[in-house]
Structure 1
Amino acid sequence: MREQYQDPLFVRQGRGIVPTNFAVELHADIQEPLSLLIDGAESRETFEPMNSQRTFRVSSHKDIDLLLVPPLKRYKQKHAPHVSIQADIEHLNEQDRQEDLRRRRVDVILATVPLKDHGYHNQLLLEQELVVTVSKSHPRIQESITEEDFMRESHLLWRTQRQNTNTLDSVAVDANLPARKIAYSTGSTVTALMLASETDWLCVTSKWHALKMADKFDLNVFALPFETQKVPVYMTWHQSQKRDQGHQWLRSAIIASLEEADIA
């Protein structure tokens, strides 16, 4: 290789040798294709869930984790007790999501927007209906809510971004909804619901999260007073992992765990 590149790759230092700057740069250039080649060989290995000690990495959002992690943990304990699943990387930048999937820093991404670039596969996991929640002690809204009520009140903004807008506006059938009065914005459903319980602010969130927390936070849950589409959740992975038996198991485990929990 030294003759091929006409540049020394290592130099003597003391009693040993160290890589030159050129060698370090060369390693950076070949590290990714070499890793893909090694991973490709590993993907042909037989995956035995009950015996495997493999670690999988899932990038998600904290609100999706509330849906997925408990049933996936139960499924893993039953079918793959020694497998480790890490769900602690949250991507807010689409370019970072693509890069980490391509480099296999993560195995799958769960998000409300699919990756449409060539080389990525997307599977719809579930669709979440949106509802509006209010404190049971709300001074003006008790038994029902009208569109006029909805627009008159102040709101907690659930700041999960979809298609360069907030979640509600991205799925509203009427694209010309009047601007709401935003009192507070947060990226956490639990934070939004807790604040709704302690104030007279309205909180729009998924029906699953609202019903899960309604009794604990003393909330009323109402259907939205206008038509909306459901919020989708996609599972996305890179095509280089398509034939990986372990990766196939992970995707199947995510789907099966959601179905067993009656979420999908």
Structure 2
Amino acid sequence: MELSDVDLNLLLLFQRLMHERRVSTVAEQMNMSQPGVSNALAKLRRRLGDPLFVRGPGGVVPTPFALSLAEPVSQALAILHDALNPETGFDPLRVTRTITIGMTDIGEVVFLPALVELLSREAPGIALNTVRDTSVNLSNEMAEGRVDLAIGLLPQLKGGFYQRRLFNQRYVCLFRRGHALEGAPLTLAAWREAEHLVVVSAGTGHGQVDDWLKRRGVQRRVRLTVPHFMSVGYILQRTDLIATVPERLALQLAAPYSLSLRALPSTLPAAPIHLLWHARVHHDEGNRWLRGMVIDLFADSSSQTRRTKTAKAEVGR
């Protein structure tokens, strides 16, 4: 099929239907009648040889072929839009906008205080909003422009994204001050015999700790399992449990909750923490400025000298 065979307006309609999943909503947004939307969709179906959308509960549901087209069509339209609407300049002191960043609860503790402090000084008109990748489809939200950046251990963000490594996150052992382990060498036997608080943080990649331990047959006495890191400080402060957590989180929790951290008796693989952004905002001046601020604040010295590592912007990588 040649590009001349497809009307650009049909691709715009396709993108709106992918996002809204309701013909009536798309008709209103595009100032069309519902029969007009249906006729345009029928034309695109004939061109592409696929139903694209079928009726479902409360609207329409995309076919597998439509899902495979969604990201490349979105990228192509975004590139065309950016080319036709170039930015005339970005002044952080004058701009007023809300930036949305995808991050975990760990990220909110580690990154937000310093980032908010910097923005209040360098870009007072920028407000921050955060979302969890477990509560939204982060890949789609970034592709469609509702999330500007993501920070963390996010292996699910692949094709269509750029990434910059900020640092490698080590894991440490964290427990309350005065714990029996505080005054003695932390041996593997002592670590295994202690009662553990384990965090199962779905979708963040930090589950690699448990996977690594299981592959090597390392057993530990799990007393409590929780789904997020926000309660770790409170729990450790009042119990004899210990937890294996990312080092930068441990450093933030140690003083407020009277906790001690120790190197683990067995070295776990470090977790690569990345700054990620979608190809659609790669050339956006505001996004580029914010990326630079995040890199200046959080990238370690080796990452500062390393060239940006880029993921190929193609589906399925």
Interval of TM-score (by shorter of Structure 1 and Structure 2): 0.7 to 0.9
2:208 aligned with 1:186, yes or no?
no
Q: TM-score, normalised by structure 2?
A: 0.65
* Aligned-CA RMSD value: 3.6
Structure 2 equivalent of residue 84 of structure 1: 127
Separation in 2, partners of 1:96, 1:139: 43
Query: Structure 1: which amino acid aligns with 2:192?
Result: M
Q: Which blocks of at least 5 consecutive residues in structure 2 are unaligned?
A: 1-8, 11-22, 25-30, 42-59, 61-65, 305-317
Structure 1 equivalent of residue 193 of structure 2: 152
2:251 aligned with 1:208, yes or no?
no
Separation in 1, partners of 2:194, 2:101: 38
The partner residue of 1:250 within 271, 290, 294 is: 290
8 Å contact kept, 1:115–1:122: no
Q: What does residue range 83-162 of structure 1 map to in structure 2 within 5 Å?
A: 83-86=126-129, 88-92=130-134, 96-115=137-156, 117-139=158-180, 142-161=183-202
Distance verdict in 2 for CA 1:212–1:82, change over 3 Å:
same
Displacement of 1:38 in angstroms is 4.7
Structure 2 equivalent of residue 22 of structure 1: 35
Displacement of 1:150 in angstroms is 1.0
Bigger Cα displacement from structure 2, 239-248 vs 105-114: 105-114
Q: What does residue range 213-252 of structure 1 map to in structure 2 within 5 Å?
A: 213-252=253-292
Q: Deviations over 1:155-206 (max 9, x none)?
A: 111223478772423566x940423222212243341232122112111112
Q: Deviations over 1:75-118 (max 9, x none)?
A: 112221112222x211127x912111111110111121345633
Query: Structure 2: which amino acid aligns with 1:98?
Result: S
Q: Which blocks of at least 5 consecutive residues in structure 1 are unaligned?
A: 11-17
Bigger Cα displacement from structure 2, 237-246 vs 106-115: 106-115
Structure 2 equivalent of residue 62 of structure 1: 105
Separation in 1, partners of 2:100, 2:106: 17
8 Å contact kept, 1:47–1:245: yes
Displacement of 1:120 in angstroms is 1.0
8 Å contact kept, 1:133–1:203: yes
Separation in 2, partners of 1:72, 1:257: 8
Structure 2 equivalent of residue 72 of structure 1: 115
Q: Deviations over 1:209-243 (max 9, x none)?
A: 22332233232321100112222211111112111
Query: Percent sequence identity over matched residues?
Result: 18
Structure 1 equivalent of residue 239 of structure 2: 199
Separation in 2, partners of 1:157, 1:167: 12
Distance verdict in 2 for CA 1:170–1:48, change over 3 Å:
farther
Separation in 2, partners of 1:69, 1:211: 15
Query: Structure 1: which amino acid aligns with 2:188?
Result: E
Distance verdict in 2 for CA 1:41–1:73, change over 3 Å:
farther
- RCO comparison, higher one (Cα < 8 Å, 6+): 1
Query: Structure 2: which amino acid aligns with 1:62?
Result: D
Q: Deviations over 1:114-138 (max 9, x none)?
A: 4563321111112222110222343
8 Å contact kept, 1:159–1:167: no
Structure 2 equivalent of residue 13 of structure 1: none
2:255 is paired with a residue of what secondary structure?
helix
Q: TM-score, normalised by structure 1?
A: 0.77
8 Å contact kept, 2:155–2:205: no
Distance verdict in 2 for CA 1:142–1:22, change over 3 Å:
farther
Separation in 2, partners of 1:47, 1:140: 53
